[in-house]
Amino acid sequence: MNEENSMDAQSLIITNGMFIIDDIENSKCNIHYKNVPGGGGTFAILGACIISPNNKTSKGLKWIVDRGSDFPDEITKEIESWGTDARFRDSFDRPTTKGLNYYEGDNDLRKFKFLTAKKQIDVQDWVATFGRETINEIQSFHLLCSGSRCTKMIDALMKVRSRESGKPVIIWEPFPDLCDFEHQHEIRCVMQREDVTVILSPNAEESSRLFGLHGKEPSSLEECFELAHRFNEFMNDNNMCILRCGSLGSISITDRLGSAERAYDHYPAYHFKTKSRVLDPTGGGNSFLGGFAIAYALTRNLATASICGNIAASAIIEQIGIPRYDTAYMTWNGLTLLDRLEFYLSQSGLQYNASDVYKSLSQ
């Protein structure tokens, strides 16, 4: 999409996540796929697309796609069909960034490694690609990085953002391998910041390592709540956390501004009653946060954003790779956003009206 076509759309979210062409291997399930569109940025934007109620909202999704010399034309066409503000950067002297997703252990813990050199995206890349004015207007920033890099990116962001823009909202997905007790201080420093609003979102296994619990992933909702309460004093009153608990759903941990205690609210996974629909969890966490980020940018409501995060993840994990998108009807795997809202809220027992949630996203 060119800049002229995106000028009338509100700048809603941006991600520093990369586009990566993935191989997916799971020997236990006899899964072997190659050249699948992937990467944290790709799945975050896909999650935001799933939650976008109209084309104008989709145009407010900003991201950079680095195309190497081997970038397939069909993937370019696929990305363009989503209607986002994707900016392609071509480097024909290098291959596209590629990676391997594989699964280990009884719990099928996802592992990842790069197969080619990566091309990271920083604040200056955003400014050079979209312009400083757009970065000033962005509502939510999705960051996928380590604690030390998160600090550097926030520092750089604050230098280019004007004071009139207000506090940026950082939806932070800590880099899995560096979300552990050894790096706890770096992560805590980010969560003590006052100049931004940070919503941290590790998964349960990463959080267990963060607090030195030897990576023991919670196996029950009760254990997830016990883990969630550890974040109470880990972050200051201004900041929040969304604990992603896989098939158990998510737990939101609110700020403490204006109240004595934080609230801890559980949101079931979309497929908690239809687990047979889940074929591959790759990208589920990234897409959760993309859906969460766009909903939070549109509503500033933690509950709505949590509902939308679980819905976004649902379409991603129903197949290997990316879901089927029908541009005419705005359906993902045959379902509209309203379809998924109605199904999720009817199954979850949450006291929200699907039409009201949908309208709040459409304003």
User: Any bridge partners for residue 171, and if so which?
Assistant: 142, 199
Report percent pLDDT > 90 for the chain: 83
pLDDT of residue 107: 58
| Helix/strand/coil percentages in the chain, nearest 5 | 40, 20, 35
pLDDT class of 85 with cuts at 50, 70, 90: very high
Helices (H), the chain: 3-6, 40-51, 55-58, 73-81, 123-130, 132-137, 147-160, 184-191, 204-210, 221-229, 284-299, 302-316, 337-348, 354-362
pLDDT class of 106 with cuts at 50, 70, 90: low
pLDDT class of 111 with cuts at 50, 70, 90: confident
Q: By the 8 A CB rule, do 79 and 105 touch?
A: no
What's the whole-number average pLDDT of the chain? 93
pLDDT digits (tens, 9 = 90+) for 203-228: 999 999 999 997 678 989 999 999 99
pLDDT digits (tens, 9 = 90+) for 301-338: 999 999 999 999 999 999 988 999 999 999 999 999 99
**Among 37-46, 108-117, 193-202, whose mean pLDDT is lowest?**
108-117
pLDDT of residue 7: 45
Residue whose token pair is 């910041």? 193
Measured between alpha carbons, how far is 150 from 174 in angstroms, rounded to an integer?
8
Structure tokens at 273: 């009653």
**CB neighbourhood size of 297 (10 A):** 23
pLDDT digits (tens, 9 = 90+) for 254-273: 999 776 799 999 999 999 99
Q: What is the pTM of this model?
A: 0.93
Q: How many CA atoms lie within 13 A of 231 on its CB side?
A: 34
* Domains detected in the chain: 3-362 (3.40.1190.20)
Structure tokens at 102: 């594989």
More confident residue, 103 or 283: 283
C-alpha Rg value of the chain to the nearest Å = 19
Task: Name residue 165's amino acid.
Answer: S
pLDDT class of 5 with cuts at 50, 70, 90: very low
Q: In what order do the strands lie in the sheet with 31-38?
A: 31-38, 20-26, 98-104, 109-114
Task: Name residue 57's amino acid.
Answer: T
